[in-house]
Chains A and B, each alone.
Chain A
Amino acid sequence: MNIKEIQIPTFLKRIFNGRNTVISIPYLWLLFLFLFPFIIVLKISFAQPVLAMPPYTDLLKWGESWWPTIQASFDSYLFLFSDSLYIHAYLSSLKIAIISTILTLIIGYSIAYSVAKAPTQWRAILLMLIILPFWTSFLIRVYAWIGILKTEGLLNLALTTIGIIDKPLIIMNTDLAVYIGIVYSYLPFMILPLYANLEKMDMSLLEAAADLGCRPLKTFWTVTIPLSLPGILAGCFLVFIPVMGEFVIPDLLGGSETLMIGKVLWGEFFYNRDWPVASAVAIILLAILVVPIMFYQKSQEKAIS
């Protein structure tokens, strides 16, 4: 008996070829782990809070008719704009994110530059030292800063012992502590893309600039900085975007007056149990971040071409 070959329709063959399957993996990933959760959050943001489980109303109500009625409410959004706390939190987050990105850039650039200029046999070790703190949990590292910065902490102890100060500095629970924590935690994200860029920079370009009569400092501004721009942008976005929504560092190191949108978000979810407002906060945060993310995308495309 002849076994009849099963004919797979050609259109199916065309859809499920190897190439499409491979390409589909990141798309499915984004679909299930980004787009679906986002739609859920978006849906909740249009609901009303209720004392129930889950603590919000359904978006669709099935009545007598064949189709459901939509019960969308913009109350959460209106509430965000009516209470100045939220606007302040957004602006404060933006300010903290911008200042700490600039600080991280200045410190990160000098570190990346010196590592890139270090003798080849040293570079791997220096990079290792930059990455090494990652082996310890992020939370533990932030907690360690409490031990350093608190009034009777290591820093104040050291400074008073040397005799530089006689009264301990109040750093803990201030914005300064938040900046220290953020800059410390996000520095590797700045250094690594900058290093990758600076390391492959053609040193003969700097020599050419000098040869053509350019002073070293001017060479840095007219040649090194413009050529490392892709690295600067990548580093800045890698720091700015997560810092904007940062919650742990302001919560642990900041004071009661340190206002960041991540902290507000947490409060809405866990203390107020107002999921719709919390979702609206998240959606607006995302909307604010989409702009820099789009800029980042554009700069990446440019760098590739």
Chain B
Amino acid sequence: MTETTTTEPWLDSNQKPYIQIENVTKKFGDFTAIDNLSLDIYKNEFFSLLGPSGCGKTTLLRMLAGFERFTEGRVLVDGEDITEIPPHLRPINMMFQSYALFPHMTVEKNIAFGLKQDKMPENLINQRVEEMLELVELTDFAKRKPSQLSGGQSQRVALARSLAKQPKLLLLDEPLGALDKRLREQTQFELMDIQEKLEVTFVIVTHDQEEAMTVSSRIGVMDSGKLIQVATPTQIYEAPINREVADFIGDVNIFKGVYKGQDEKGTQLLSEDSKSIIYATQKVDVPVGNRIWFALRPEKLEITKKLPEVDCNILKGKIEDIGYGGSFSTYHVKLENGRQLTAIRANRERTAEHHLTWGDEVYLHWAPHSAVVLLS
């Protein structure tokens, strides 16, 4: 069990959180951007704040950096209350969405800027700048001005500059938002490597759920200034706590219905999408007759032409649309009641031997343990 305590400190009550956000509220006039939010982040975590635009994630990040004052609540970093400390004295650095590189300074001057403010001796500054340039593989670009860099290079200079002072906490505001998809995916892994190597606690703000899933140790899903769920990427994806989270992270098929009790196959749901009762293994503790929902990820829906040899969870439908994605295909299947479901199947064979095409009559089915039961 020692293994889990080091990689998942949030499960261990003996571990002391590194960043403690306590009952924080931020109001802009009448508008509440952050609503009584509390969150503990542990040392060396790569924590993502994920949410739609306007959910308050950037405001929270800017409050941690010190650019927005707190209406209520406080934040402790390594036990020290930083709520009233101005930004230039906080042991926190931020990587800006626009990178905010100083256009009148060379790459090395940009990286050295923070170190100079600390009155670090010249030779130590040079040494540190060199280390950082090596880390982001930009040694040859030291003398360039930001205007002479590509987007990816600027992004790495911004990262090097924000890491140069060895902050206790690094805040990253949509760090990969301006990069194209390929570079973004590559940079995600670089970010993870750097974070591991330097052992700095990262808090990243993103609206890209794939990015959050890839890089994070934990994700906090935000909406309307509140945290809806804080969990590991796997838990967020496989066990969302409500329809909102399920819907925001990835695609999902949701079955609405009435709880009919439990039997040996699991929780029974009577849904208008199915003529018979459908099942999920997960147990719930609500009175029979309550409204509940089943959430099912598209890749967990099996799509076949032949009637599958299982005793439950079979739906019949017709293929409306096929989206070919190379490694997988997305099928939109219309049920008999007109409801449309999404199923994803990996394209394991080069040529489509299964011959699924538009208008085909197909069966969808799933194993009861693949479905998540949601109460709200």
A: residues with CB less than 8 A from B are 202, 204-205, 207-216, 218, 223, 226-227
**A211→B104 contact, CB < 8 A:** no
A226 and B104 alpha carbons, distance in the complex (Å): 7
Q: Which residue of A lies closest to B67 (CB)?
A: A207
12 additional A-B pairs beyond A210-B88, A212-B93, beta carbons within 8 Å, are: A204-B100, A205-B103, A209-B102, A211-B88, A211-B93, A212-B162, A212-B165, A213-B114, A213-B117, A213-B118, A214-B117, A226-B104
Tell me the nearest residue of chain A to B119, going by C-beta. A213
Is residue B290 contacting chain A, with contact meaning CB distance below 8 A?
no
Q: How large is the interface on B (under 10, 10 to 19, 20 to 34, 35 or more residues)?
A: 20 to 34
Q: Provide the residues of chain B in CB contact with A227, threshold 8 Å.
A: 102-104
Contact A212 B117 (CB under 8 A): yes
Q: Contact at A204–B96, with CB atoms within 8 Å?
A: yes
Contact, CB under 8 Å: A213 / B165: yes
- List of A residues within 8 angstroms of B65 by Cβ: 207, 211
Is B94 among interface residues, defined by CB-CB distance under 8 A?
yes
28 interchain pairs, CB-CB under 8 A:
A204-B98, A205-B102, A207-B94, A208-B96, A208-B101, A208-B102, A210-B66, A210-B67, A210-B87, A210-B88, A211-B65, A211-B88, A211-B93, A211-B94, A212-B113, A212-B161, A212-B165, A213-B88, A213-B89, A213-B114, A213-B117, A213-B118, A213-B165, A214-B113, A215-B88, A216-B88, A218-B117, A227-B104
Residues in A neighbouring B67, C-beta threshold 8 A: 207, 210
A207 close to B104 (CB less than 8 A): no
| Contact pattern, B 172-194, Cβ under 8 Å of A = 1, otherwise 0 | 00000000000000000000000
CA–CA, A166 to B104, complex, Å?
A: 53
Contact A212 B104 (CB under 8 A): no
Cβ contacts under 8 Å, B87 to chain A: 207, 210-211
A207 / chain B contacts, CB cutoff of 8 Å: 65, 67, 87, 94, 96, 100
In Å, the complex CA distance between A210 and B102 comes to 12
Q: Find chain B residues with CB under 8 A from A209 CB.
A: 102, 113
**Min CB gap B102→A, angstroms:** 6
Mark B51-82 against chain A: 1 for CB-CB distance below 8 A, else 0.
00000000000000111000000000000000
- In whole angstroms, how far apart are the Cα atoms of A242 and B247 in the complex? 66
Query: Closest residue to A212 on the B side, CB-wise?
Result: B114
Interface string of B108-121 (1 = CB under 8 A from A): 00000110011000
A213 contacts across to B, CB distance below 8 A: 88-89, 114, 117-118, 165
A215 and B86 alpha carbons, distance in the complex (Å): 9
- Chain A contacts for B101, CB-based, 8 A: 208
A214 vs B114: C-alpha distance in the bound complex, in angstroms?
7
Q: Which residues of A contact B98 (CB under 8 A)?
A: 202, 204
Contacts of B86 in A (CB 8 A): 210
In the complex the two chains form, what is the Cα distance from A48 to B186 in whole Å?
80
